[in-house]
Amino acid sequence: MRAELDERRTEWRRLTSSQLTHAVEAHQRFLKGDQRGLRADLSFVDLAEFDLSGLDLRRARLVGARFAYAKLARARFAAADLYGADLRMARLEGADLTGCDLRGACLRGADLSDAVLIDADLREGSLLRAAGGDLTGGESGPSPVELTRVTAHRAHFARAKMARAIALQTDFTDANLRSAHLVGADLRNAVLTGANLVETDLSTTNLSGATLRGSDLTGASWVGANFAGADLSGALVDAAAYEAVELTDTNLARADEAVLARLPEILSSHAAWVKTGGREGRRAELSRAVLIRQDLREAVLGAALMSYVILRDSDMAHAQLAMADLSFADLRGVKLAKSDLRGANLYRATLTGADLSSADLSPLELVDDRARRMPSKIERARLDGAMLRGASLRGARLVGASFAGADLRNVDLTGAVLRQASFAGALVDGARFEGADLRDATGLQPGS
């Protein structure tokens, strides 16, 4: 590994452990306003492969510093100057880079999982170190930030400036890129599954071959963007998106009049299939169907195939949906009060504003030789602002689910798996959490 970092060695200086400790201690005094403190200036210092996990370098000057292969998990770099820094393959899990100047930096292959880069500046930049130590602009022109093959699961890039960034094959799964500025960025073959791209500027961005399954693109701008070969299955978009020339040849779900015309027949045939245990009728196949504002009250759709279906604003109160596959489904504003969703698959479904009051999402007891219990799968689902009052989610799998602003009063979450779930602003009075797995869950008040 060291051999890979030896080029242009004379441009960086290496600190001893004691020198680094002294600089960090003086910086801590600086942050506290102590007159004996001194702002850390580690510009062009070689800290490659150092273990700096949890270090507090807020507001530090780190221009051109080398952190390649360094361990920086949970490090605090808020408002630090990392202009032109070398962060290749750095371990930055959970690091705070809020408001950082990262112009011209290289983060190729770094791990930014759960890192915070709100308001960070990741635009182009250039560096040239003169003999006297002063910095001037590079003669070859500014270089874009390098984010190729970065792992950025659940990273927070809200309002980040990322124009013309290079992010080939970068994994932004579940990342928050809300209102980020990505004009002209190169995101070819990037993974943006479940990403928040609300009001993001994607104008002239290259997203060819990118995976955008279940991403939220509402309010986003994409004039001149390239979506060739991109996967938009289950992506949330505004109505105007269906008229956008940039999305004409994509796999974005579109209404099919033939399916709508046959819907009564499909429902009747499926009901017969359920009643006779498959001997009569036919299992409903409604995957990717667009069924907006449909009256499906008391519909019999148990075990129906409905992945990626769009049922926005439909009425499905009292519907039978046990074991139905609703993964990646768009269920925004759907009425599911008192519906039977036992054992249903709602992986990455969007239920924002849906009414699930008194719905049953408890495990389905399978009567067979093994006496199995099939829990409802609701991992990574969006339930923001949903009404779940009185619902049963006993034993449900809810890893990474978002309940921001949801009404969870008197909900039964006994034994539910709620790791990494978010409860910001949720109402939880009377909710039952006995035996629930709440590791890394956020937003719950003590005693909940």
β-pairing verdict for 13-14 and 45-46: parallel
If pLDDT is split at 50, 70 and 90, which confidence band does 128 have? low
pLDDT digits (tens, 9 = 90+) for 195-241: 999 999 999 999 999 999 999 999 999 999 999 999 999 999 998 89
Whether pLDDT at 135 is above 90: no
Question: What average pLDDT does the segment 364-379 reach?
Answer: 84
Q: What is the pLDDT of residue 321?
A: 98
Torsion of CA 370, 374, 375, 381, to 10 degrees: 150
The pair phi, psi for residue 28, each rounded to 5°, is -65, -40
Q: Is the pLDDT of residue 339 over 70?
A: yes
Delimit the domains of the chain by residue range: 254-448
Q: What is the pLDDT of residues 230-264, one digit of tens each?
A: 999 999 999 889 899 999 999 999 999 999 999 99
- Per-residue pLDDT at 389 exceeds 80: yes
Q: What is the mean pLDDT of residues 114-124?
A: 97
Over residues 183-194, mean pLDDT: 98
State the average pLDDT over residues 41-54.
Answer: 95
394 compared with 126, residue with greater pLDDT: 394
**If pLDDT is split at 50, 70 and 90, which confidence band does 336 have?**
very high
Structure tokens at 4: 């890979």
The amino acid at 114: D
Percent of the chain with pLDDT over 90: 88
DSSP 252-289: -----HHHHHHHHHHHHHHHHHHHTTTSSS---B-TT-
Residue-wise over 89-112: b if at least 16 C-beta within 10 A, else e?
bbbbbbbbbbbbbbbbbbbbbbbb
Question: What number is the average pLDDT over the span 338-345?
Answer: 98
Check if the beta carbon of residue 227 is closer than 8 Å to that of residue 211: no
DSSP characters over 294-323? -B-TT-B-TT-B-TT-B-TT-B-TT-B-TT
Enter the CATH code of domain 254-448. Answer: 2.160.20.80
Residues 204, 207, 208, 212, CA torsion sign:
negative
pLDDT of residue 16: 87
Q: What is the pTM of this model?
A: 0.92
List pLDDT tens digits, range 268-288: 999 999 999 999 999 999 999
Per the prediction, the chain carries an average pLDDT of: 93
Cα-trace Rg, the chain: 25
pLDDT at 328: 98
Confidence of residue 445 (pLDDT cuts 50, 70, 90): confident
Band (pLDDT 50/70/90 cuts) for residue 7 is: very low
**Sign of torsion over alpha carbons 313, 249, 148, 103:** negative
When pLDDT is cut at 50, 70 and 90, the band that residue 141 belongs to is low
- How much is the average pLDDT of 301-320? 98
Residue 339 and residue 268: Cα distance in Å, rounded?
Answer: 18
